[in-house]
Amino acid sequence: MIEYAIDDTFIILKFKERTWDGRQIYLYNYDRPGKLHVEEMKKHAKDNEGLTTYKNQNVKDNYAAYWDEDSKKFKRKDNKGLGCSSLSRYGSTRTK
């Protein structure tokens, strides 16, 4: 994981390598995978320690949406848009 962005009810993770399906940026929110996991992921991100391990062990592929490069929007797993059309709104923070 190379970047993250945090808001009140979600965290966005950008991974160094694209996954098997060609995706690189994922959104995790209070709906999916849930508040408990999102808050724990935010804590690990802020501490700059253990975020990738926590995600891999506890959340896995239970993301709310992925960033679709073609449409420049987040899309849910069912390919419906979320209405968010810009990553720049959230800023980003680099991690080690």
Q: Which residue has the higher pLDDT, 95 or 24?
A: 24
Q: Is the pTM of this model over 0.75?
A: yes
Taking the CB of residue 20, how many other CB atoms lie within 10 A of it?
5
Give me the pLDDT at residue 87, please.
52
pLDDT for the residue 96:
40
Question: Which pLDDT value is given to residue 22?
Answer: 80
pLDDT higher at 81 or 47: 47
Q: pLDDT-based confidence at 69, cuts 50/70/90? A: confident
Residue 16 CB contacts under 8 Å (≥ 6 apart), including other chains:
1, 2
Q: Can you give the pLDDT at residue 56?
A: 94
Task: Tell me what pLDDT residue 80 has.
Answer: 62
28: tokens are: 């995790």
Residue with tokens 């899309």: 75
Kindly report the average pLDDT of the chain as a whole number: 84
